Structure 1
Amino acid sequence: MSLRPGYDDDLRLAHVIADQVDSITMARFKSQDLRVETKPDLTPVTDADKSAEEIVRGQLSRARPRDAVHGEEMGDTGHGPRRWVIDPIDGTKNFVRGVPVWATLIGLLDGDQVVVGLVSAPALGRRWWAAQGNGAWTGKSLAAASQLHVSEVDRLEDASLSYSSLGGWEERGQLDAFLNLTRRTWRTRAYGDFWSHVLVAEGAVDLSAEPELSLHDMAALVPIVTEAGGMFTSIRGVPGPFGGSALVSNGRLHGAALEYLDPLPEA
């Protein structure tokens, strides 16, 4: 693929960083001495999560010293309009159990726009990326990539929907609304985490939804989905990664899905 000027250098840097992180996370994946702790929110964190974020921050401090960084494990550092958003291992529970569906997520915000996103899933041998105005791509490197396009399915009855779990919807009193949506669709599968959303960008899935997510869970995914022709909002229709949840679609199905997940808009 060829890159138009803009954020091409930032995207290349994200690939370089992901290469280094992949070597660390793969070395710790299924390791017998993997150290797992429980965070205050009762989610797991491993020594691999921490090491991966340290690598990303170290590289950014050298290559982009003026940029701010927001990471899942180490919070916020720096100030300014450009902010890198890092999830060192999205899918830590899978990582801990030896399930290969996990990834490092690297996004770049310029103001309130996510302009670069990269998702690297080395245990799957897959990587997805996008930069504003350059389309969305998948492959093993910038030199060996194929462009992504969302599907053209335009009816819920023909749509494939992916999600992470039913428990999150139930905890928030939204299970009935979500189940009503699933009943309208042709097929449902719980691929979960980042994978649900990049499958929408690939056109393999038409809709994905999660009821509660943080900025670091979503930022890198937004340009991948939108540059592939899709839409990324919260389940209340807030564009981008700032609404605390995710509804991702090929665009054609977005309004119909919102009618189920957000039936009573806030005044």
Structure 2
Amino acid sequence: MTSPTTPTSWRTPFDDDLTEDLALALRLADAADRVAMARFDAPDLNIDLKADQSPVTEADLATERAIRDILVAERPADGIHGEEFGTSGDVARQWIIDPIDGTANYLKGIPMWSTLIALAIDGVPRVGVVSQPAIGRRWWGATGLGAWTNTPTGEPRRLHVSGVDDVAASSVSFQSIAQWDEVGRSEDLLRLTRAVWRDRGYGDAWPYMLLAEGRLEFVAEFGVQAYDIAAHVPIVMEAGGRFTDIDGADSLDSRSSLATNGILHDAFLDVIGPTT
């Protein structure tokens, strides 16, 4: 994803009121939930392979179309960058969409998949919604408006990252061993797991949300695109955490991500070492 300007930091103060944008993002998630759930665990679900041999289902396509239809009608001046139908329109205000993050889970009937919706302004993710309708969960946030999740009572709960300040007491998620091995960093992963209290590979969007809820201190992965991570950025940051690429840079284009509780960000960078 390209942007017309390169911000000095994702943490630079931002003055615009994003209330209406966040409300729209939540309505987009409502529409996406209806479409995606209508075909979840369907025995006749149509599944194809993309050029990169990753799976795509009829639900991926239909869900992104549903989101795009609303945006075209209500925000015709905004750009869109989606996993299934590419990029169109202005990049200064760009909606970034992954209609079903975790397609492999979706097509197997495993409920751990999400719709990811973000709004980036001048290349900086400012609004994010992560919706997991199969388990009845949703997380959302926007710069200056906090980060939130739903609760069984229907009242939203504000999110805060943990206050853990010792790597040895931290709990981490590394997505998968294969990701680290493919980029030649399996030794870095092993060193990390030896340094922390607890390590797990939860996968996809969920560990980022666990981090925003204060249940993890570190999430990292490789091979990601902007649509895989943009929605997570404002949620993690508004919860008090920090979000960069694996080398500590503010970027959606580096094909890597590192989210932490903020307190331990630099310490984790020291543990895993720089990209060689």
Scaled by the length of structure 1, the TM-score of the pair is: 0.94
Inter-partner Cα distance in structure 1 for 2:91 and 2:266: 35
Q: CA deviation at 1:114?
A: 1.0
**What is the letter of the counterpart of residue 37 of structure 2?**
M
Matches of residues 57-206 of structure 1 in structure 2 within 5 Å?
Answer: 57-139=68-150, 144-206=155-217
Query: Offset of 1:42 from its aligned partner?
Result: 1.6
Q: Deviations over 1:35-55 (max 9, x none)?
A: 111111121110000000000
Structure 1 residue 243: Cα displacement: 2.4
For structure 2, the 5+ residue unaligned runs are 1-14
Structure 1 unaligned spans of 5+: none
Give the whole-Å Cα distance in 1 for the aligned partners of 2:207 and 2:91: 32
Task: State the aligned residue count.
Answer: 261
Query: How big is the shift at 1:183?
Result: 1.0
User: Quick check: 1:217 aligned with 2:217?
Assistant: no
Percent identity among equivalent residues? 46
SS in 2 for 1:144: coil
- Does the CA-based 8 Å contact 2:91-2:123 persist in structure 1? no
Q: CA deviation at 1:156?
A: 1.0
Q: How far off is 1:227 after superposition?
A: 0.2
Structure 2 residue aligned with 1:51: 62
Match of 2:243 among 232, 241, 246: 232
Between the aligned partners of 1:241 and 1:223, the Cα distance in structure 2 is 13
TM-score, structure 2 length as denominator?
0.91
Q: Deviations over 1:112-152 (max 9, x none)?
A: 211100000001110000011011000169x7200000000
Single out whichever of 35-44 and 49-58 deviates more from structure 2. 35-44
Measure how far apart 1:220 and its partner are.
0.5
**What letter matches 1:77 in structure 2?**
S
Asked if the contact 1:137/1:147 (under 8 Å) is kept, the reply is yes
Secondary structure at the aligned position of 2:72 is classed as helix
CA distance in 2, matches of 1:6, 1:72: 27
The answer on whether the counterparts of 1:126 and 1:138 sit within 8 Å (CA) in structure 2 is yes
**Cα gap change, 1:20/1:172 in structure 2, threshold over 3 Å: closer, same or farther?**
same
Distance in 2 of aligned mates of 1:10 and 1:140? 22
Q: Is the 8 A contact 1:235 1:247 kept in 2?
A: yes
Tell me the SS of whatever aligns to 2:235. Answer: helix
